[in-house]
């Protein structure tokens, strides 16, 4: 029985106990999955795990407060669930987690870049997974891509491919891809001068359309309908189409996620114009990991920036 | 049919540089993983392969623009009295969008009646929109293929539709066949050499080939009235909208990429003694969009908001504007939705539900 | 490719003579009246004398008031078109812009856009008895029609007013009430929610007092405005009294920005409250989707 079938069996087994099971189904084209909310065996038959199951289903959990739901989680999704639990944003007894050994997910921007002049993603009519390769059919021809070349960055540095909290775990746990996060993505960025970084952000943010998909795709955004981005009372940002305001919002969002962001990358994936907004959060995550020895969503206890201790064990400012 | 003209690809930058002497020229540019319409940099070659992520609507309907500015000035004659002046912005300059898609050009038809006083209803005319609209020429680049998310044929469009375009440009081999469709379009291309018969035939063949890649309209011929009725019939069906919106993030990606979504906000942005009244894009997917002064909100749940978005496009708008959908089928809302919410599926599910009930 | 040859709609245009519907008139606040702890009334005169002279509106139409730097909000013009010395607006403090309005003093300049929206169908009410039922700030839209009818008194039959507020202090237009109570061509009943010292009038919730008053539905139109919960029960009371949906008129509140049917937020189905409303008969409301 393949992973897909095993997961479907696990989903069907838990269906009678829950309001719904959140997982993935197919999207509008063969390269895209979509969140799937399963309430029946028929729904469960439409469940599709694998390389295209990119969405983080933890995002939806707070909407189901007061109801019992099950959720199928990749390792990174489980981290988000972990963080939601530590912050009391969801209740443990209301959520049942189905884990599995995640083999990584696609990065659509990489696929688009790999296809280049051969065509657009929307022209792909069929996708086959053959071992380490993806075989795409478009314009009547086949294009072979190495999965490794079109895998999401977060998967390339994944330390937690097996949901670390799971009520049901389907399949054999796999070896992590990496043992530590070297934040190599930040090194590339930080090699730039401050002026270059400023210019980088100004250029990137200038195409922001302020749809706030980054914010709404974030499982840990708690302000939701009361965001300073659009609030007039307080009025912190103008509605002008200005890079300054757009970048200001990203900084607020990232700061609000310091020590909370688990690096699921949904903000960046959701951005329709491909702005690398995860960078800001990664930088803060590294600082928090260094300063407080805390990995959001993994380490238990109150997140360090949601509490106060006279002396942080890793900072030791009294013995300086 | 107007004279067909031909512009070799290698001469595109030069030709656009020439246009830039009399017009502000917008063209698709690749930035990161996105393709966006930008004021064109001199000498640059527009992106002609990948289709723009966003629509060209912001050229005519900017993401934010000034309705007027205001300035308070102390009256030297009377202590504490301040004089107030309102100043309207300058009129827009003539503009050309090179490389708009046929769906972009048709998208403006959804704006037009609303911003032009709703026809016989005789409502106010939106002068800011109308000035930009009449000042903007559209050079449409015919699509050579359909994407999985394309459904312009549901809304009366086609990959190489001439509707709303001033010039239709078709990529053939190593150049663009340019067909002027309006006097304004003729003015733009009149300096170009005539196309040969072969090039004209290649353009025609490209249109036919593109058409062949469109997925057929399900259940064709499509009945717009049946769709409008079916969507409206689901109004009180909360379960339907909860299911359709389950994966929706309630972000504004769909509305802001949409060529036909025209809703906006008005805010004052002030430094105390001067400032501007700004019109900026707004989205019906946001809770704040309908929050009333009393605190009451008729659309608190994302299900209600998605219902309004779909209802507006396929039922309310058509009932006010001659049966036309306020959707041009560009599919950007599907293609760029972080959750792959598919508006076609919602419409089809509403139709299916209507058929079950009757 | 049949769609390509179909006649495309004409591209619209405008010229220098097309008025800009977003430009407010500048207006001088000539008087500010403290109505209740959270309601103030503003009497304004357009600074352009010609504009003031040619300003016409129908009872029930609204205007947008601007405090530049804060924003614009919609309020009914609650003075009647028969009294054009000034335009009157009453503003309940609820948010950023209404707070800014409450800070405005006599002599200050504000912006006015209008008139906007539809109006009370007063022509079709001629020859009929009229019952006004107003709650709190909901008295404002009724005031314009009430005064208009009193100024054209012979056109209407019996006119009754039931006006309620939470307490005597919450009763706007208190300075006009003695005149209204004293008129013999107006049957004026006041009520407050709970007993208060010195209160000479009714005590009780508006729908209950209305049932007590029991106006005859025969050849009568009821016009009601107030908070949503009061409207809900008042409509029930009116129906109980035999009023048909066609005989009941009310006004709706929605978040509005443009006020001219474009910006897209005040719709209920295909009706836009800013241009198709704010005045609706209950019969009309029953025809549109339930999204109040």
The CATH number for A129's domain is: 3.10.450
pLDDT digits (tens, 9 = 90+) for B78-101: 887 788 999 999 999 999 999 999
Report yes or no: A264 and A76 within 8 Å, Cβ to Cβ: yes
Joined together, the tokens standing for residue B299 give 């659309």
Give C17 to chain B, closest Cα distance, Å: 10
Residues contacting B254, CB < 8 A, separation 6+ = B261, B285, B309, B332, B333, B336, B337, B341, B343
CA distance B167 to B105: 11
Which residue, among A19, A26, A28, A241, would best test binding to B if mutated, counting the most B CBs under 10 Å from its CB? A28
Residue A139 shares a structural domain with residue A48: no
Alpha helices for chain C (secondary structure H): 2-5, 49-54, 96-102, 139-151, 177-182, 206-213, 228-240, 273-276, 282-287
Subunits with 3+ Cβ pairs within 8 Å of A are B, C
- Each residue's pLDDT tens digit, A5-20: 999 999 999 999 999 9
Domain spans in chain B, listed from the N-terminal domain onward: 4-357
**Cα B149 to Cα A60: distance, rounded to the nearest angstrom:** 25
| Contact assessment for residue B301 and residue B294, using Cβ atoms and an 8 Å cutoff | no
Chain C: closest CA distance from residue A227 (Å): 16
No. of H helices and E strands in chain A? 11, 8
Model confidence band, residue C1 (pLDDT cutoffs 50, 70, 90): very low
| B197 contacts: CB under 8 Å, gap ≥ 6 | none
Q: Where in chain C is the domain with CATH 3.40.50.80?
A: 123-251
Q: Which residue has the tokens 């006649």?
A: C7
Judge contact between C78 and C86, C-beta under 8 A: no
pLDDT in tens, B51-79: 999 999 999 999 999 999 999 998 888 88
Q: Say whether A235 and C96 touch across the interface (CB within 8 A).
A: yes
Whether chain A has a CB inside 8 Å of the CB on C95: the answer is yes
> What is the model's pLDDT at position C163?
97
Torsion of CA B19, B24, B25, B29, to 10 degrees: 150
User: Tens digits of per-residue pLDDT, C100-110?
Assistant: 999 999 999 99
Q: Alpha-carbon distance C235 to C288, whole Å?
A: 17
Contact A212 B252 (CB under 8 A): yes
User: Which residues in C47-86 belong to E strands, given as ranges?
Assistant: 62-67, 71-76
Mutation target among A226, A233, A239 for the C interface, most CBs of C within 10 A:
A233
A142/A168 same-domain check? no
- The domain total for chain A is 3
As a whole number of angstroms, the distance between CA A224 and CA A65 comes to 15
Q: Number of Cβ pairs closer than 8 Å across B and C?
A: 183
**Closest residue in C to A235 (Cα–Cα):** C96
Q: Of A168-172, B128-132, C4-8, which gets the smallest average pLDDT?
A: C4-8
Q: Given this model, what pLDDT does residue B1 score? A: 60
Instruction: Report the alpha-carbon distance of residue C103 to residue C97 in Å, rounded.
Output: 10
* CA atoms of C7 and C5, how far apart (whole Å): 6
* pLDDT tier for residue C24 given thresholds of 50, 70 and 90: very high
| Contact: C255, B291; criterion CB under 8 Å | yes
Length of chain C as a residue count? 292
pLDDT score of A1 more than 70: no
With 0-12 CB in 10 A as exposed, 13-18 as middle and 19+ as buried, what is A80?
A: buried
Helix axis angle, C206-213 to C228-240, nearest 10° = 20
Q: Domain check: are A26 and A124 in the same one?
A: no
Portions of chain C given CATH number 2.40.30.10:
25-116
Beta bridge partners of C280: C250
Confidence of residue A269 (pLDDT cuts 50, 70, 90): very high
DSSP letter for each residue of B62-127: -SEEEEEEEEEEE-TTSTT-EEEEEEPPPPPPPEEEEEE-HHHHHHHHHHHHHHBT-GGG---B-H
Find, in chain A, the residue whose alpha carbon is nearest to that of C99.
Answer: A233
Q: pLDDT value at position C4?
A: 37
Identity of the residue in B70, B207, B295 whose CB atom sits nearest the CB atom of C68:
B70
Task: Please give the average per-residue pLDDT across C261-281, as a whole number.
Answer: 94
Rounded Cα–Cα distance for residues A148 and C120 (Å): 69
Please tell me the distance from the alpha carbon of residue C10 to that of residue B259, in angstroms, as a whole number.
18
Q: Are B180 and B166 in contact (CB under 8 A)?
A: yes
Give residue A173's domain range. Answer: 1-104+161-179
The residue of chain A with its CA nearest to that of C96 is: A233
> B358 pLDDT band (50/70/90 cuts)?
low
Q: Which residue has the tokens 């972080």?
A: B338
In CATH, the architecture of C25-116 is Beta Barrel (2.40)
Output the pLDDT for position B295. 86
Neighbours of B (≥3 Cβ pairs closer than 8 A)?
A, C
Q: Are residues A78 and A125 in the same domain?
A: no
If asked whether residues A293 and A204 sit together in one domain, one would say yes
Interface confidence, given as ipTM, is 0.94
Query: Is A231 found in the same domain as A173?
Result: no
Residues A131 and A207 in one domain: no
Cα–Cα distance, B97 to B56 (Å, whole number): 8
* B340 contacts in chain A (CB < 8 Å): 27-28, 32-35
In a domain, A128, yes or no: yes
pLDDT at residue A320, as a whole number:
64
State the residue for tokens 């702005």.
Answer: A275
Contact B158/A at CB under 8 A: no
The CATH architecture assigned to C123-251 reads: 3-Layer(aba) Sandwich (3.40)
Which tokens belong to A175? Answer: 């070896």
Q: Is C24 on the interface with B (CB under 8 A)?
A: yes
Tokens 């439409």 found at: A46
Residue B172 DSSP SS3 = strand
d(CA C128, CA C219): 6
- In C, minimum Cα distance to A234 occurs at C96
Do A41 and A170 have their domain in common? yes
**Domain identity same for A146 and A210:** no
Quick check: is A156 in a domain? no
Q: Give yes or no for residue A206 having a pLDDT over 60.
A: yes
* Band of residue A218 on the pLDDT scale cut at 50, 70, 90: very high
Q: Return the residue of C nearest to A231 by Cα.
A: C96
Is residue C141 packed enough to be buried (19+ CB in 10 Å), middle (13-18) or exposed (0-12)?
buried
User: Which pLDDT tens digit goes with each residue over B196-240?
Assistant: 999 999 999 999 999 999 999 998 888 999 999 999 999 999 999
DSSP symbols for A77-137: HHHHHHHHHHTTSS-GGGEEEEE-B----B-HHHHHHHHGGG--GGGEEEEEEETTEEEEE
Quote the CA–CA distance of B99 and C51 in Å, as a whole number.
Answer: 46
CA C125, C127, C132, C137 dihedral sign is: positive
- Please indicate, yes or no, whether residues A27 and A166 belong to a single structural domain of this protein: yes
What's the rounded Cα separation, in Å, for the pair C56 and C63? 12
């Amino acid at each position: 029985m393949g992973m897909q079938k095993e997961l479907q069996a696990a989903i069907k087994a838990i269906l009678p106990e829950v309001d719904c099971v959140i997982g993935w189904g197919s999207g509008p084209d063969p390269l895209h999955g979509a969140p799937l909310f399963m309430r029946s065996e028929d729904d469960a038959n439409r469940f599709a795990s694998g390389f295209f199951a990119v969405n983080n289903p933890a995002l939806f959990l707070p909407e189901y407060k007061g109801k019992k739901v099950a959720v199928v989680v990749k390792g990174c999704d489980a981290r988000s669930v972990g963080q939601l639990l530590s912050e009391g944003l969801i209740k443990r007894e209301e959520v049942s987690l189905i884990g599995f050994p995640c083999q990584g997910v696609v990065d659509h921007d990489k696929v688009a870049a790999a296809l280049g002049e051969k065509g657009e993603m929307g022209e792909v009519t069929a996708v086959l997974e053959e071992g380490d390769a993806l075989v795409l059919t478009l314009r009547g021809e086949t294009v072979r891509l190495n999965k490794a070349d079109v895998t999401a960055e977060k998967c390339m540095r994944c330390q937690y491919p097996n949901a670390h909290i799971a009520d049901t775990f389907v399949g054999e746990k796999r070896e992590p891809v990496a043992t530590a996060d070297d934040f190599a993505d930040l090194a590339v960025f930080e090699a730039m001068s401050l002026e270059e970084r400023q210019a980088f952000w100004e250029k990137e943010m200038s195409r922001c359309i302020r749809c706030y998909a980054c914010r709404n795709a974030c499982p840990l955004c708690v302000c939701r309908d009361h965001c300073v981005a659009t609030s007039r009372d307080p009025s912190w940002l103008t509605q002008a189409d200005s890079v300054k305001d757009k970048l200001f919002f990203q900084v607020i969002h990232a700061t609000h996620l310091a020590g909370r962001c688990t690096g699921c990358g949904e903000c960046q994936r959701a951005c329709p114009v491909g702005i690398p907004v995860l960078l800001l959060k990664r930088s803060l995550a590294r600082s928090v990991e260094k300063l407080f020895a805390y990995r959001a969503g993994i380490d238990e206890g109150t997140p360090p920036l949601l509490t106060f201790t006279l002396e942080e064990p890793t900072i030791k400012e009294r013995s300086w | 049919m107007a004279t067909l003209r031909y512009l070799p690809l290698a001469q595109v930058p030069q030709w656009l540089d020439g246009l830039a002497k009399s017009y502000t020229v917008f063209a698709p540019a690749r930035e990161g993983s996105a393709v966006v319409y930008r004021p064109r940099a001199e000498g640059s070659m527009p992106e002609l392969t990948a289709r723009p992520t966003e629509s060209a609507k912001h050229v005519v309907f900017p993401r934010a623009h000034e309705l007027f500015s205001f300035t308070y000035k102390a009256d030297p004659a009377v202590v504490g009295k301040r004089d107030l002046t309102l100043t309207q912005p300058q009129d827009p300059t003539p503009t050309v969008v090179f490389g708009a898609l046929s769906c972009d050009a048709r998208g403006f038809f959804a704006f037009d009646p609303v911003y032009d006083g709703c026809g016989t209803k005789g409502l106010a005319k939106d002068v800011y929109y109308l000035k930009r609209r009449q000042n903007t020429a559209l050079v449409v680049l015919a699509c050579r293929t359909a994407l999985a998310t394309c459904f312009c044929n549901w809304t009366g469009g086609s990959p190489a539709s001439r509707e709303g375009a001033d010039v239709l440009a078709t990529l053939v081999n190593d150049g663009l066949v340019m067909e002027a469709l309006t006097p304004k379009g003729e003015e733009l291309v009149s300096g170009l050499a005539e196309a040969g018969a072969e090039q004209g035939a290649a353009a025609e063949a490209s249109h036919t080939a593109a058409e062949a890649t469109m997925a057929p309209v399900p259940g064709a011929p499509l009945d717009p009235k049946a769709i409008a009725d079916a969507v409206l019939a689901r109004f009180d069906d909360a379960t339907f909208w909860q299911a359709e919106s389950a994966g929706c993030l309630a972000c504004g990606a769909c509305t802001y990429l949409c060529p036909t979504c025209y809703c906006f906000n008005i805010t004052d942005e002030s430094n105390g003694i001067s400032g501007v009244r700004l019109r900026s894009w707004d989205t019906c997917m946001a809770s704040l969009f309908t929050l009333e002064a009393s605190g009451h909100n008729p659309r608190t749940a994302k299900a209600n908001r998605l219902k309004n978005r779909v209802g507006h496009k396929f039922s309310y708008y058509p009932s006010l504007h001659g049966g036309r959908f306020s959707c041009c089928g560009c599919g950007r809302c599907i293609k760029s939705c972080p959750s792959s919410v598919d508006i076609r599926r919602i419409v089809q599910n509403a139709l299916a539900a209507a058929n079950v009930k009757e | 490719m049949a769609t390509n040859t179909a006649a495309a709609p004409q591209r619209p245009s405008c010229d220098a003579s097309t008025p800009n519907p977003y430009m407010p008139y500048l207006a001088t606040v000539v008087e500010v009246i403290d109505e209740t702890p959270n309601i103030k009334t503003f009497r304004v005169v357009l600074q352009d004398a010609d504009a003031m002279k040619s300003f016409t509106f129908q009872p029930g139409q609204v205007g947008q008031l601007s405090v530049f730097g804060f924003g614009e909000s919609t309020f009914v013009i609650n003075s009647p078109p028969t009294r054009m010395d000034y335009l009157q607006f009453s503003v309940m403090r609820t948010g950023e812009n209404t707070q800014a309005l409450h800070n405005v003093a006599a002599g200050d300049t504000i912006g006015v856009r209008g008139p906007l929206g539809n109006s009370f169908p007063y022509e079709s009410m001629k020859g009929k008895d009229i019952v006004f039922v107003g709650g709190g700030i909901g008295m404002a839209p009724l005031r314009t029609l009430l005064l208009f009818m009193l100024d054209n008194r012979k056109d209407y039959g019996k006119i009754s007013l039931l006006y309620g507020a939470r307490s005597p202090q919450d009763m706007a237009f208190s300075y006009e009430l003695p005149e209204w109570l004293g008129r013999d061509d107006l049957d004026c009943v006041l009520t407050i929610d709970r007993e208060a010292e010195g209160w000479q009038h009714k005590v009780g919730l508006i729908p209950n007092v209305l049932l007590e008053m029991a106006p005859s539905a025969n050849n009568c139109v009821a016009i009601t405005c107030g908070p949503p919960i009061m409207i809900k029960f008042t409509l029930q009371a009116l129906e109980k009294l035999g009023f048909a949906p066609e005989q009941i008129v009310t006004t709706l509140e929605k978040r509005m920005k443009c006020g001219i049917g474009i910006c897209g937020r005040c719709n209920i189905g295909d009706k836009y409250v800013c241009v198709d409303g704010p005045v609706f008969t209950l019969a009309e409301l029953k025809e549109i989707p339930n999204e109040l």
